[in-house]
Amino acid sequence: MKIGSYIYKGKTSYGVEVQDGIFDLGSRIGDKYPNLQILIRSFALAEASKLSSGKSPDFIQEDIIFLPLMPDNINIYCAGINYLDHIQETGRTRPEKPTLFLKTYQSMVGHLENLVCPSASEQYDFEGELAVIIGKPGKNIALDTWEDYVAGYTILMDGSVRDFQKVSVDQGKNFYHSSSVGPWLVTRDECPNDFSELKLTTRLNGEVMQSSDAGKLCFDVSELISYYSKIVHFQPGDIIATGTPGGVGSRRTPPIWMKNGDQIEVEISGLGTLSNTIIDE
């Protein structure tokens, strides 16, 4: 099941992608589950799947404004330097433990919404990533139980302002509306067990910049969940961004930076395509 959050005719809702459009859940079960996070927290994804199975759409995707999946009370945990080819292109050695930084909610936009190129810098870079949506609360999660805590997967474009990132990672990763997530949460049952089947492609103005797969993660999803849960207490709807592969703009000669009018797309097989246009601040 592919399920997302959006605004339709001025009202916030959520629904399931069905053939030729979207089956709206908010108008049907919104009294019980006001948003996608509460649906997940209530372990009601199966109910949503059953309700929407085989149904006709209520409206088409062109009629909605995509939101960044979850409401603003979640945490976004991010792994840095976590693809083997990205480690190589940055000239680093393989880390012994996963790194971790946080993204603020205000740095995010949804699918097809404009990303903002900051006026404070010209070094606005792209990072296509696989992201994990947490499905239930968890702390000190064992490696062999990680799947129990996953609601599904999505796509994240981690916009990175490189000169500010050199001052501190959190600065470079949290510019207003610099990153995006979506369009869908794809439930775990529809994703392959072999992460190498999740092919990731980042395109800038139609040109392929990154091409890899989640099988090349330095620390895989199970390791990230288990390790981070030693530090934090995961809550339903929290997002883990698993890192980006090689090919980022800052490591090219000459560097390639995103600018006003550019189109950035991140595609992951089975999950869809996250697409955004860049505008000046």
H helix intervals, 68-216? 84-89, 162-167, 169-172
Q: What is the pLDDT of residue 68?
A: 97
Please give the domain boundaries of the chain with CATH numbers for all domains. 2-66 (no CATH), 76-280 (3.90.850.10)
pLDDT, mean of residues 131-143: 98
Q: Report percent pLDDT > 90 for the chain.
A: 92
Contact between residue 55 and residue 17 where contact means Cβ atoms under 8 Å apart: no
Q: What is the pLDDT of residue 87?
A: 77
pLDDT, mean of residues 47-64: 97
- Distance, in Å, from the CA atom of 192 to the CA atom of 276, rounded to the nearest integer, reads 26
pLDDT, mean of residues 20-24: 97
What is the pTM (predicted TM-score) of this model? 0.96
